[in-house]
């Protein structure tokens, strides 16, 4: 039960913007607080009770940036306590080290890359307006960095003295909320676990709890179609009878208070509470924050499919580590934006892209390296509004020269993908493998027919190409081309095993060159055996790509049957 046991610290008094900036960023703190300073902060608050053990073993040494600048607002009294608590947690558990800063320069491209995640600690106001610094933070997250916020972070990058006027809408999209409407800062609520069993909620068991703090009501960019809600008000046990209709009240009674979400490859964790220092002294709440920190750092795996998309089948697939998504080629006669809409209409959370599909009516260009930063932003916003994540990208070939290869991987980083699907020249693979390791992006070698793809058309060719390569080089197994070449997909999967990086799934009406797609489980591919073999081998591909290549303009009914079949099988696997 989270209760305040002492008189709450008062919020820092307001100071002028100029004096505030001088006394913090320019003089007192500089780029980072020294470890000596951190120790002094911690020693000042003996009531902080941090966990002794982290829920996950770090995959490598982790570094967390804590940024606590406020602009136009004096700052919450809990900031100092949170800084100390997170630093103590990192030191005691060995899960991460912290760097605390109020200098926006820490977000420069060369600086931010040293961190695994950023914690914006109750950061109210327009923290920095520099376009390059904002782009650096956004691209850091979208490419796979972590972002954590508490309470006042929901009004970061607004002009606080102008009534919270929006200044960076995409930040609000990325965080999953905008606004600071609240009742008294001593409000008592009963919190329910919205997603019992979620890895971040283990510390609470399966029971709700009473809590006292100042609770920001979710507004603006908040949506269960985009966020995976963890905690929220139990409206049956919380007194909301006098809830004022002044921006606090929600007609749908959806008072979400904590969630995780995905933005590109980025991991985001936010709590709408954190006003009072007592929150960051409570041992159970610190367990929750430690789990959230390890999630954003990349050490604690946790599902992020939006709450509104969850079904028993999707929950089963989450446990299997399976992600079903639409390959853009299925709808290549439409635009990419229309493909996003169709993916969402099908209830799926994932999709792939390809280089020769037009983006949209308003962006009549191919989805390729020619896109501007503004056009890429429109793509990010379109995907997020639909609650869809882009996992893969097909490009015919990847150049074998240093400059050309880097351009491709930089593009992959910007669009937040995990895997390229491609058919590069074998002699380019050593360079490509090096870039795979540098960027953390896979390259899955795609199989067309033997004439078009002599090096990769069969599993043996893929394995030969992968000899001496990292596990980031592997197969994009296209079952349709295997079947047309007379290859048994079950045996082929058994040959490739963990060299399978991603899959393009097909079932054909006959196994020859004339074979066309039919709903999964009704053709010649032995589809259920294929899925059972993948499960037996423990393969968790980037995506089970639903690539339905028939009846192009009227294929939605058949595609729905494919999804129903996949869901049925996945529900039966343990």
Angle between helices 489-496 and 527-536 (to 10 degrees): 20
Q: Which two tokens stand for residue 356?
A: 């020769």
pLDDT tens-digit readout, 205-236: 989 999 999 998 898 999 999 999 999 999 88
CA distance 472 to 490: 22
pLDDT at 37: 41
Neighbouring C-beta atoms of residue 362, cutoff 10 Å: 9
pLDDT at 47: 83
Which helix (DSSP H) or strand (DSSP E) does residue 319 occupy?
helix 312-320
CA distance 437 to 140: 17
3-state SS class at 165 = strand
Q: Which two tokens stand for residue 500?
A: 């399978």
User: Which residue from 441, 481, 432 is spatially nearest to 459, judged by alpha carbons?
Assistant: 481
pLDDT tens-digit readout, 491-535: 999 999 999 999 999 999 998 888 899 999 999 999 999 999 999
pLDDT at 539: 97
**CATH architecture of the domain formed by 311-572:** Alpha-Beta Barrel (3.20)
CA distance 542 to 391: 7
DSSP string covering 365-423: SBSSTT--HHHHHHHHHHHHHHT-EEEEEE-S---SSHHHHHHHHHHHHHTT-SEEEE-
pLDDT at 36: 34
User: Which residue from 245, 256, 192 is spatially nearest to 221, judged by alpha carbons?
Assistant: 256
CA distance 64 to 147: 10
User: Which residue from 149, 80, 82 is spatially nearest to 117, judged by alpha carbons?
Assistant: 149
pLDDT at 84: 96
Write the CA distances from 70 to 76, 123, 262, integer angstroms. Answer: 9, 5, 26
pLDDT at 12: 25
CA distance 281 to 284: 9
Alpha carbon 168 to its chain's center: 20
pLDDT at 163: 85
CATH class name, domain 17-180+222-229+255-297:
alpha beta
User: Which residue from 315, 316, 317, 226 is spatially nearest to 546, judged by alpha carbons?
Assistant: 317
CA distance 378 to 384: 10
pLDDT at 434: 98
Residue 197, burial from CB neighbour count under 10 angstroms (0-12, 13-18, 19+): exposed
pLDDT at 20: 30
What are the residues facing 187 on neighbouring strands?
A: 213
Asked whether the beta carbons of 140 and 110 are under 8 A apart, the reply is: no
pLDDT at 137: 98
3-state SS class at 338 = helix
3-state SS class at 10 = coil
Q: What is the mean pLDDT of each run of 10 residues along the chain (574 residues)?
A: 35 30 34 40 70 96 97 93 97 97 97 98 95 98 98 93 90 94 87 96 94 92 96 89 70 91 98 96 97 99 97 98 98 98 98 98 98 98 98 97 98 98 97 98 96 94 97 98 96 98 97 92 96 98 98 97 98 93
Looking at the chain, the domain(s) classified CATH 3.40.50 span: 17-180+222-229+255-297
CA distance 232 to 215: 10
Regarding beta strands 256-263 and 266-271, do their DSSP bridges make them parallel or antiparallel, or are they unpaired? antiparallel
The dihedral region occupied by 56, where left means phi > 0, alpha psi between -120 and 50, and beta the remainder, is beta
Asked whether the beta carbons of 151 and 278 are under 8 A apart, the reply is: no
The torsion angle over the Cα atoms of residues 150, 155, 157 and 160, rounded to 10 degrees, is -130
Length of the chain: 574
Looking at the chain, the domain(s) classified CATH 3.20.20.150 span: 311-572
CA distance 34 to 46: 20
Asked whether the beta carbons of 48 and 98 are under 8 A apart, the reply is: no
């Amino acid at each position: 039960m989270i209760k305040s046991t002492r008189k709450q610290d008062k919020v820092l008094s307001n100071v002028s913007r100029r004096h505030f900036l001088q006394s913090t960023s320019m003089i007192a703190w500089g780029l980072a607080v020294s470890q000596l300073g951190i120790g002094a902060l911690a020693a000042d608050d003996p009531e902080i009770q941090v966990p002794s053990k982290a829920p996950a073993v770090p995959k490598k040494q982790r570094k967390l940036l804590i940024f606590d600048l406020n602009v136009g607002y004096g700052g919450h009294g809990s900031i100092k306590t949170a800084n100390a608590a997170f630093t103590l947690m990192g030191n005691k558990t060995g899960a991460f080290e912290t760097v605390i800063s109020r200098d926006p320069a820490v977000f420069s491209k060369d600086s931010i890359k040293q961190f695994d995640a950023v914690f914006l600690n109750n950061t109210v106001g327009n923290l920095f307006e520099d376009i390059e610094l904002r782009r650096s933070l956004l691209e850091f997250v979208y490419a796979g960095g972590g972002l954590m916020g508490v309470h006042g972070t929901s009004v970061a990058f607004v002009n606080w003295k102008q009534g919270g006027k929006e200044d960076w809408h995409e930040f609000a999209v990325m965080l999953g909320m905008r606004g600071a409407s609240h009742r008294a800062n001593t409000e008592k609520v009963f919190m329910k676990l919205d997603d019992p069993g979620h890895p971040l909620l283990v510390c609470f068991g399966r029971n709700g709890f009473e809590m006292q703090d100042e609770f920001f009501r979710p507004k603006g960019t908040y949506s269960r179609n985009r966020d995976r809600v963890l905690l929220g008000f139990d409206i049956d046990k919380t007194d909301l009878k006098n809830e004022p209709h002044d921006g606090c009240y929600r007609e749908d009674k959806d008072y979400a208070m904590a969630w995780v979400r995905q933005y590109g490859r980025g991991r985001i964790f936010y709590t709408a509470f954190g006003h009072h220092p007592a929150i960051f002294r409570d041992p159970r709440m610190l367990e929750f924050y430690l789990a959230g920190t390890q999630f954003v750092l990349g050490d604690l795996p946790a599902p992020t499919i939006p709450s509104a998309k969850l079904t028993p089948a999707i929950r089963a697939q989450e446990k299997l580590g399976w992600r079903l998504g639409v390959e853009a080629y299925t709808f290549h006669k439409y635009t990419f934006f229309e493909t996003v809409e169709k993916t969402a209409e099908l209830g799926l959370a994932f999709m792939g892209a390809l280089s020769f599909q037009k983006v949209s009516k308003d962006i009549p260009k191919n989805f390729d390296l020619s896109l501007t930063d503004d056009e890429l932003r429109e793509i990010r916003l379109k995907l997020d509004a639909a609650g869809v994540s882009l996992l893969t990208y097909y490009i015919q070939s990847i150049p074998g020269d240093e400059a050309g290869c880097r351009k491709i991987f930089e593009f992959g980083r910007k669009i937040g993908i995990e895997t390229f699907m491609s058919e590069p020249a074998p002699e380019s693979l050593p360079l490509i493998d090096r870039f795979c390791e540098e960027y953390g992006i896979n390259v899955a070698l795609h199989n067309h027919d033997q004439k078009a793809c002599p090096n990769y058309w069969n599993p043996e060719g893929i394995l030969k190409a992968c000899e001496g390569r990292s596990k980031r080089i592997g197969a994009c197994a296209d079952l349709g081309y295997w079947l047309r070449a007379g290859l048994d997909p079950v045996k082929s999967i058994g040959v490739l095993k963990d060299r399978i990086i991603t899959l393009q799934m097909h079932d054909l009406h006959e196994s020859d060159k004339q074979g066309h797609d039919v709903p999964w489980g009704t053709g010649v591919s032995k589809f259920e055996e294929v899925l059972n073999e993948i499960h037996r081998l423990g393969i968790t591909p980037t995506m089970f790509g639903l690539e339905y290549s028939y009846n192009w303009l009227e294929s939605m009914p058949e595609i729905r049957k494919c999804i129903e079949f996949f869901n049925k099988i996945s529900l039966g696997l343990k």
